[in-house]
Amino acid sequence: MKRLIFSLVLSFVTISFCTGQISFLVEGGANYGKATLSKNDLIKNDNIIGYYLSGTPKFNLTNRLALQSEFQYSLEGYGFNGISGQTKNNFHYIRVIPGVELKIVGPLRIIAGLNYGYLALAKTQDGDPISKGAFEKNDVGLLAGINLTFSNVNIAIKYNYGMNSISETQLTDFEGKNLDLKTKNRFLQVGVGYLLE
Could you please report the per-residue DSSP string of 16-79? HHHH--EEEEEEEEEEEEEEEEES-SS--EE-EEEEEEEEEEEEESSSSEEEEEEEEEEEEEEE
Structural domain boundaries of the chain? 2-196
Q: How confident is the model at residue 3 (pLDDT cuts 50, 70, 90)?
A: low
The whole-number pLDDT of residue 197 equals 85
Give the global pTM. 0.82
- For residue 196, pLDDT over 70 is answered with yes
Say which CATH topology domain 2-196 has.
Porin (2.40.160)
Other CB atoms within 10 A of residue 177 CB:
8
Quick: pLDDT tens for 65-117.
Answer: 999 999 999 999 888 765 556 678 889 999 999 999 999 999 999 999 999 99
Quick: pLDDT tens for 112-148.
Answer: 999 999 999 988 777 677 776 778 899 999 999 999 9
- CB 54, CB 31: distance < 8 Å: no
In sequence order, which residues have a C-beta less than 8 Å from that of residue 28 and are 6 or more positions away?
51, 52, 53, 54, 191, 192, 193
In sequence order, which residues have a C-beta less than 8 Å from that of residue 10 and are 6 or more positions away?
none
Q: How far apart are CA 55 and CA 195, in angstroms?
A: 10
- CB 76, CB 35: distance < 8 Å: yes
The whole-number pLDDT of residue 134 equals 76
The whole-number pLDDT of residue 123 equals 87
Beta bridge partners of 51: 30, 75
The whole-number pLDDT of residue 55 equals 97
Higher pLDDT, 113 or 1: 113
Amino acid at residue number 167: S
